[in-house]
Amino acid sequence: MATAGLDAMGEEFVGRVLREIIAFTAFTSENDPHGERDCARLVVDGVSIIWKIDYFDRSLTYHSPDPADPTVTVRVMTAMLAGEY
């Protein structure tokens, strides 16, 4: 998912953001304070971006009862401008 603010930056920029997220491995205590590797901050073309992964139940209504179990979990990644967080 991309937020409205990120989407407004244009398709080309959103594509660069997604490629940066895919390649991202530089987790630190500053950009991943909980050490879960499901959320981080990065900078793309001078724009601060936050991405995070949420773990929902199969109906996408509530949090997953067991995020580690793919039979009861749907993961949704959201990318946004840092100012939208």
- Residue 20, classified by CB atoms within 10 Å of its CB into exposed (0-12), middle (13-18) or buried (19+), is middle
In Å, how far from its chain's centre is CA 49? Answer: 9
Instruction: pLDDT band for 67, please (50, 70, 90 cuts).
Output: very high
Give the mean pLDDT of 48-73.
96
Q: Flag whether pLDDT at 26 surpasses 80.
A: yes
pTM of the complete model? 0.85
Domain boundaries, the chain: 4-84
78: part of which helix (H) or strand (E)? strand 74-81
30 falls in which pLDDT band (50, 70, 90)? confident
Give CA 28 to chain center in angstroms.
16
